């Protein structure tokens, strides 16, 4: 999971991010959830690190950066920091940023707000012409379960495996 950007829209404008990822096979995923999507939001907060590992290197999840005391928080520290003794202040900031980014990004790609919560997929960050939307139904399963199913399905269908891992 990449949380290096201030805004999700920056993924299409940030030359360093595009250079880092665009020569690789795979998908780019943007999770659009807000605090109104109660169960999804709670799971997102506590699952940044697991989302990173379950999606592997072929499904690159891009999330907005989280800043605490004017310093960007690395992905692996998100859950720990916003559930610490300072949780009220940081959690409020996280809720505000995630809500703003979800609606801003939906508008940016002309996705109607009633399609949230959703995961939006792109196959490139360089001038994309299309995207796929997976509307999330959290009554059927949780966010991690959805990503596990997705990763398993894509790895099987697309044969995304590292040759070194098979030898």
Domain boundaries, the chain: 2-166
Say which residue the tokens 């995207």 belong to: 131
8: three-class secondary structure by DSSP: helix
Selected from 3.30.565, 3.30.460, 3.40.30, 3.40.50, the CATH number assigned to the domain covering 2-166 reads 3.40.30
Question: Chain centroid to CA 67: how far?
Answer: 16
Tens-binned pLDDT, residue by residue, of the chain (167 aa): 667 667 788 777 776 666 666 666 678 888 888 878 777 777 776 777 777 778 777 788 887 666 666 666 666 666 666 556 555 666 777 778 888 989 999 999 999 999 998 889 888 888 888 999 988 876 667 777 887 887 777 777 766 555 454 44
Task: Record the pTM.
Answer: 0.76
């Amino acid at each position: 999971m990449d949380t290096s950007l201030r805004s999700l829209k920056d993924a299409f404008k940030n030359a360093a991010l595009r250079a880092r990822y665009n020569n690789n096979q795979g998908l780019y995923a943007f999770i659009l959830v807000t605090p109104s999507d109660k169960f999804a939001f709670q799971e997102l907060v506590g699952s940044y690190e697991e989302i990173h590992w379950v999606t592997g290197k072929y499904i690159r999840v891009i999330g907005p950066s989280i800043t605490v005391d004017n310093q960007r928080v690395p992905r692996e520290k998100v859950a720990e920091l916003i559930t610490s003794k300072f949780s009220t202040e940081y959690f409020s900031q996280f809720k505000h940023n995630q809500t703003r980014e979800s609606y801003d990004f939906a508008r940016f790609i002309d996705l109607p707000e009633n399609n949230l919560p959703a995961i939006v997929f792109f196959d490139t960050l360089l001038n994309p012409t299309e995207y796929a939307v997976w509307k999330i139904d959290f009554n059927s399963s949780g966010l991690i379960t959805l990503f596990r199913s997705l990763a398993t399905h894509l790895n099987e269908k697309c044969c995304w495996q590292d040759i070194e891992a098979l030898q």
